[in-house]
Amino acid sequence: MNYEKTVQTAFREVSDALSAHHWLGEQVRNLLATHAAQAADARLASLRYDNGGAPYVRSAGWPA
């Protein structure tokens, strides 16, 4: 009976580790997508400012 419990515990631990790995992968993908979107926003704000389309404070995301 002890062997069976040990095997069940091992399977549960592996399952938990795989779930955590999947969840962390999702978090990394979400953070990378957020970073890419914010970098694009910053680039567009810089272009607007550089070309006289918006004052610096507004182009940096602050309300007018």
What pLDDT tens digit does each residue of the chain (64 aa) get?
Answer: 699 999 999 999 999 999 999 999 999 999 999 999 999 998 998 898 899 888 776 555 555 5
C-alpha atoms less than 13 angstroms from C-alpha of 48 in its C-beta half-sphere: 15
Radius of gyration for the alpha carbons in the chain, expressed in angstroms and rounded: 24
What pTM did the predictor assign?
Answer: 0.65
Note the pLDDT of residue 60. Answer: 54
Cα–Cα distance, 43 to 27 (Å, whole number):
24
